[in-house]
Structure 1
Amino acid sequence: MIETIQTVKSKIEAGESINLELPKNGMLHIEKPLPYICVYRFKNDDPYFAGLLKTQASYLIADAELDISELLKEISISVSEKLNAFLILEMWPVRTAHDAQFGIFCPENKAVATIASLKKGFEKIKKIYPGVSAKVINTKNRQRGDLAPLMNVDESKESGSLIIGIAVPAIYQNTAEEEIYSLFYRRFYSYFSEIIKRAAFEFIRVQTSNPFGHYLMLGKTKLEKVTLNADSLLAGISEEMSFLLRVTPVNGTTEWENFQKNNFTKVPAFNYRLISIDPERKKRELYNIPLEKIKDPTIAYILRDKRLEIEKQLTMLEERNTINFRYIGQSLYGKIEDRVIVAANQILEKFPDQDSSEEITALSCHDFARRAQKELDYYQKEFPETPLCLEIRKDVNGIMVSQSSLLISDQFTLDERRCDALIQHEIATHIVTYCNGRNQPLKQMYAGFSRYDQLQEGLAVLAEYLVKGLSINRMRTLAGRVIAAESMVKGASFIETFNLLRARRFSDYTSYYIAMRIYRGGGLVKDAVYLAGLLDVMDYLKKGRNLETLYTGKFNINHVDMIEELMHRNIVKPPVLPRFLQRDSVRVRLEILRHGIEVTELLE
């Protein structure tokens, strides 16, 4: 132990991380010099309770027979010399049937803010377990009853430390049968992790020379090997699947011509790329990834959520061109919200006709490609490690991005007034967020979190507005996609939805193209997310949130708080921002959005 103590002392003085195995399955883990540590002394090793401590960046787990007092004193003294104080949180499980009370054992009138934070935090667990309570016990004995104190009062003072004991009811476990409620345990340790960090931050804020600006900065800053491996495997399966490419028709143009010839009475017969993967084998690979070993609650949640999405997408590939494809897709992308349907109808009511007020200068696919290439060349310098490319192809409809490639149909034409907007949509949003994600340690940042499409498309449409390229026809198309998706969900056929769109004064081809996207694969409600995402981003900006955060990778609006947490923890790096944000006119329009406007006012 003397050698261990010397090693720990020198590492703390050098500001290095510590990861030491102790006898009998013990572990000392300190990622960075932090003015607190969580301690668990066990008589019978409990991996689930130990897992609660492992959510922290500083913990000591040791066999109760091992004397760790001198080790803790050295840690306390070394850190206190730098930060003026040190907090020791000794924790132990309580397994009394029907007991859901947390016990907080502390000296009277010491670290009042820390104690209050712990009590308030534990009582919030009522949200997931109604019977929870928390009791503060003022006492000199701050350890489990059958153990000796870690330090006496004088030793604690000399080392500059404060010890608080926490008795944790094992409500995540069936005490009688020793079964773990796995789903509840995941939620419990997420709550527990945050409670401890918040309480430690209160101690740091009041008692130390605080170098931390936010409680999330106390979180883990390093990703464990098991986390990186799991992330890599998930990203690999997601990329290999190429879901959207495999559910997008390759004969859309030919079927449009046939649809016209048949006077819009015969349902198009769409063809798709062959599926070169075995969905069943990929599902087996998915569930062989040991996500249960990941102790970081935030990243574990992100990866589990993504695994569920990939499983649904694999099932959809198996069910392509069947009614089951549609139903699974609805569970994947969610119900079309009433607010989105209302906004779509408001847009079509305010702009009932297509805009043909000005003569259109049409650009060919080659004209557009030349302009897009200039933008790609600019970002290639910003992201030298990621090759950016452009292809004109026969097997795509319109234009799309696949990873860092811009794919353009050889039949594609474009109103010149929309050229800049489309470049900022596809390159400055989809490709830039992909490249920023590639620069992050988590591969999900570029492969995409679960349901990332909604924020991605909302952010991309926002770019169109910011560069003054959001037209009436574009807004009508976004609204039309929502109307068509709702029509499909209610059971309408392709031809019924096509005629519904024509009745809302969309051209024959636009009605066909919208319906094709909605009914592809057997029915895909994904296109409703463009307008939903735009509403999300407008609301986000109105709340004064940080636009730059949205460019760090590919995720959904409900993941933003997690991204900000990972940024506080220095896991996610600041992004390279689209250069169009430097335009004065864009800054003016952003300010307008921050004051709040209706979606129908974007064109005014």
Structure 2
Amino acid sequence: MIKTDLLEQVCHNLENELPVNESLPDGGLLHIDKLLPYICVYRYKKTDHLFSGLLKTQGSYLIVKDSYPISDLLECLSTNISKKLNAFLIIEMWPVRKDHQAEFEISCPKSKAPATIKALEEGINELRVIYPEISVTISDTHTRHPEHLEGLLNVEETKESGSLIIGLAVPTIYERPEENEIFSLFYRKFVSRLSEIIKRAAYEFIRVQTSNPYDHYLMLGKTNIDRITLDADSTLAKISEKMSFLLRTTPVNSTRQWELFKKNNFEKPPAFNYRLIALDPEQEKRKLYDIPIEKVDDPTLSFILRDKRLEIEKQLTMLEERGTDNFRFIGESLYGIIEEHVLDGANAILKKFPQGDNPAKIERFNCYEFAEHAQKELNYYQDKFPNIPLCLEIRGDVAGIMVSETRLFISEELSMDADRCDALIQHEIGTHILTYCNGKRQPIKQMYAGFAGYDQLQEGLAVLAEYLVNGLTVNRLRLLAGRVIAANSMIFGATFIETFTLLQKGHNFPEKTAYYITMRIYRGGGLTKDAVYLAGLIDLLDYLKDGGALEPLYTGKFNTTHINLIQELLHREVLKQPVLPRFLERESVQKRLARLRKGIELTELLN
């Protein structure tokens, strides 16, 4: 018999719409993230952590020893939740494996919830993408539980409590216990997809049968993040921040080497020096793989953390290999090679604009004048994020302008066209610093530390800001194209001097500009990262043309491949809505954004 005080506690939490987290005998668990009109139930004879993991992806589940009486508990749940939402769905799940078959079995009263059963059936059929042998049968029966067990509730009890029971036998195709084999990579895919299928089916039940408080099936996912996930996320962020990858792969003597390079008539390659690496990459890697990401139940967050861990591992290896060819090869696996459509875009820009702009008379800003304007923008966002210190520094060891977290670094050698001031402020502050601050407000630290491959969308978004504020110039667009050409040249084996000459003589870049483009590409041993600026812009133009929402992209630092994950986490209210850049309030910006949504070519951005 279930304890009275447990029932009272569960009923109290449900009445007050509070989360329920209760440990039950023999390793059992009851978890209800928020008031949800469904629950997944698994009754085990012997603990099965893999199958339990399928249920733990849901916002509401009961995992319990099969000898433990739970009918009173289920009546409590169904009665209290039905009182608020009019109906309650119980999905009992159990593992099956008959002669290595991959057949799902749905047991249900088909006529009572056809939309729910259809969503479940269609979703399971979609699993054939990852396992072609999967099939599904549907039985219209009162027996909706494993053969060796009694039903959770009898039919009359379910009618009285306003609940419906569906049985789901799941083939354990992710393991072969007789051979002691577990297919971990497949298991993660299987769990992630099945988790979504169950939520979609539950949503159809909710949509049709209940007073639906949810606008999207993703809102059924977990809202609260457990301690294991938070700790894993925090450890990853600490390792990433401590590494300071870009600072440690950027030369500290680039200005002095430019002077020597010019003095030597561009015939002797520069010798770059870098900041000392104040960490042991091997020890940091050990910390990475001590993080128990395999214990993170949420498949979305697990994917994000696992992906980031792999990126950090590659960056640590690159620091070990700084100054060697291996640095470049690992970097290519991290940032990718130059895709053909990106190279075509770069060539199209340089063909349409073979020469840079060079107005005879134009006002120029030095580092202090630019800093004065930048500080005003920082002050605006400082009011929006009072708990996050924002600052700028004028330094002699950086080239141009760069951002590190919430700090804007400005080279003391900076000299820039005054009409580029607003564009660069929106690039660095209105995009990079703003997305960092938005990420800092989130419960997941990766939102500011950056998901794997986040640079591409970040830089595309930053260049988009330049266009929207009418600050994208011929010189700027040629610069982005030049970086792609230089990266492609390096990949195909050209030397520093050959790539510099290609830019300077082949594409008419000024000597100093050609040098700095080449320096950024060849730093550390070769870094293709700079090609992502144009690649990110191209991706973003396609995204907006296809009707993609701009606002979620400011939630933090992630890639275009993560947009669906971010929208899921926003639906689940795991993430907070972002503070948007204030330049979006300008009427001229909205007109330009509307133009992008109709679709334009790269070379039309300057029309």
Q: Same fold by TM-score, threshold 0.5 exceeded?
A: yes
Q: Please say which of residues 148-157 and 312-321 is displaced more in the overlay.
A: 148-157
The correspondence of residues 472-483 of structure 1 with structure 2, limited to 5 A, is 472-483=474-485
1:521 aligns with 2:524: yes
TM-fit CA distance, 1:53: 0.2
1:196 aligns with 2:198: yes
TM-fit CA distance, 1:245: 0.3
Contact 2:338 2:531 in 1 (8 A): yes
Contact 1:106 1:165 in 2 (8 A): yes
Contact 1:35 1:86 in 2 (8 A): yes
Name the counterpart of 1:154: 156
TM-fit CA distance, 1:179: 2.4
For residue 137 of structure 1, give the secondary structure of its aligned residue in structure 2: strand
For residue 147 of structure 2, give the secondary structure of its aligned residue in structure 1: coil
1:183 aligns with 2:185: yes
Name the counterpart of 1:378: 380
The 2-side partners of 1:500 and 1:293 are apart by 51
The 2-side partners of 1:272 and 1:554 are apart by 26
The 2-side partners of 1:52 and 1:312 are apart by 30
TM-fit CA distance, 1:82: 0.8
Which of residues 340, 343, 346 in structure 2 aligns to 1:344? 346
The 2-side partners of 1:448 and 1:223 are apart by 19
Which of residues 165, 172, 175 in structure 2 aligns to 1:173? 175
For each residue in 1:463-505, what CA deviation from the matched residue of structure 2 results, as whole angstroms up to 9, or x when unmatched? 0000100000000000000000000011111111011101111
Q: Which amino acid aligns with 1:518?
A: I
The correspondence of residues 247-326 of structure 1 with structure 2, limited to 5 A, is 247-326=249-328
Q: Which runs of 5+ in 1 are unaligned?
A: none
TM-fit CA distance, 1:335: 2.0
Name the counterpart of 2:225: 223
Name the counterpart of 2:34: 32
TM-score norm. by structure 2 comes to: 0.99
Q: Please say which of residues 308-317 and 91-100 is displaced more in the overlay.
A: 91-100
TM-score norm. by structure 1 comes to: 0.99
TM-fit CA distance, 1:178: 3.5
For each residue in 1:24-67, what CA deviation from the matched residue of structure 2 results, as whole angstroms up to 9, or x when unmatched? 11111011111100000010110110010000010001100011
Q: Which runs of 5+ in 2 are unaligned?
A: none
The 1-side partners of 2:442 and 2:57 are apart by 21
The 2-side partners of 1:577 and 1:327 are apart by 37
Contact 1:96 1:175 in 2 (8 A): no
Q: Which amino acid aligns with 2:602?
A: V
Which of residues 542, 550, 555 in structure 1 aligns to 2:553? 550
Which of residues 366, 369, 376 in structure 2 aligns to 1:367? 369
Q: Which amino acid aligns with 2:502?
A: L
1:455 aligns with 2:450: no
Q: Which amino acid aligns with 2:430?
A: A
For residue 403 of structure 2, give the secondary structure of its aligned residue in structure 1: strand
Which of residues 552, 571, 580 in structure 1 aligns to 2:583? 580
TM-fit CA distance, 1:176: 1.6
TM-fit CA distance, 1:308: 0.2
Name the counterpart of 1:46: 48
For each residue in 1:256-303, what CA deviation from the matched residue of structure 2 results, as whole angstroms up to 9, or x when unmatched? 111111111111000000000000000000000000000000000000
Name the counterpart of 1:106: 108
TM-fit CA distance, 1:358: 4.2
Contact 1:344 1:479 in 2 (8 A): yes
Q: Which amino acid aligns with 2:374?
A: A
TM-fit CA distance, 1:70: 1.2
Q: Which amino acid aligns with 1:164?
A: I
Contact 1:97 1:175 in 2 (8 A): no
Name the counterpart of 1:570: 573
1:15 aligns with 2:17: yes
Q: Which amino acid aligns with 1:486?
A: N
Contact 2:482 2:517 in 1 (8 A): yes
For residue 26 of structure 2, give the secondary structure of its aligned residue in structure 1: coil
Q: Which amino acid aligns with 2:48?
A: D
Identity of aligned residues (%): 63
The correspondence of residues 98-137 of structure 1 with structure 2, limited to 5 A, is 98-137=100-139
The 1-side partners of 2:503 and 2:411 are apart by 24
Structure 1's 484 and 77: CA in aligned 2 closer, same or farther, altered over 3 A?
Answer: same
TM-fit CA distance, 1:7: 1.6
TM-fit CA distance, 1:175: 3.3
For residue 440 of structure 1, give the secondary structure of its aligned residue in structure 2: coil
Which of residues 229, 232, 235 in structure 1 aligns to 2:234? 232
Contact 2:110 2:117 in 1 (8 A): no
Q: Which amino acid aligns with 1:210?
A: N
Which of residues 8, 12, 18 in structure 2 aligns to 1:6? 8
Q: Which amino acid aligns with 2:392?
A: L
Name the counterpart of 2:603: 600
Which of residues 146, 150, 171 in structure 2 aligns to 1:144? 146
Give the root-mean-square deviation of aligned CA atoms.
Answer: 0.7
For residue 89 of structure 1, give the secondary structure of its aligned residue in structure 2: strand
TM-fit CA distance, 1:159: 1.0
Aligned residues: 604
TM-fit CA distance, 1:154: 0.6
For each residue in 1:155-207, what CA deviation from the matched residue of structure 2 results, as whole angstroms up to 9, or x when unmatched? 11111110000000000011322321111111110011000000000000011
The 1-side partners of 2:38 and 2:360 are apart by 67
Contact 1:91 1:168 in 2 (8 A): yes
Name the counterpart of 1:532: 535
The 2-side partners of 1:384 and 1:255 are apart by 40
Contact 1:326 1:522 in 2 (8 A): yes
Q: Which amino acid aligns with 1:434?
A: Y
For residue 24 of structure 1, give the secondary structure of its aligned residue in structure 2: helix
The 2-side partners of 1:244 and 1:161 are apart by 56
TM-fit CA distance, 1:108: 3.4
TM-fit CA distance, 1:96: 2.4
TM-fit CA distance, 1:95: 2.4
TM-fit CA distance, 1:360: 2.3
Contact 1:95 1:175 in 2 (8 A): no
TM-fit CA distance, 1:544: 1.3
Contact 1:265 1:495 in 2 (8 A): yes
For residue 603 of structure 1, give the secondary structure of its aligned residue in structure 2: coil
1:589 aligns with 2:592: yes
TM-fit CA distance, 1:594: 0.6
For residue 353 of structure 1, give the secondary structure of its aligned residue in structure 2: coil
For each residue in 1:402-430, what CA deviation from the matched residue of structure 2 results, as whole angstroms up to 9, or x when unmatched? 00000011111110010110000001100
Q: Which amino acid aligns with 2:202?
A: A
The 1-side partners of 2:16 and 2:370 are apart by 56
TM-fit CA distance, 1:3: 2.2
Which of residues 500, 506, 515 in structure 2 aligns to 1:512? 515
Q: Which amino acid aligns with 2:285?
A: K
The 2-side partners of 1:36 and 1:338 are apart by 48
For each residue in 1:422-472, what CA deviation from the matched residue of structure 2 results, as whole angstroms up to 9, or x when unmatched? 000001100000001000000000000001000000000000000100000
Which of residues 383, 393, 415 in structure 2 aligns to 1:413? 415
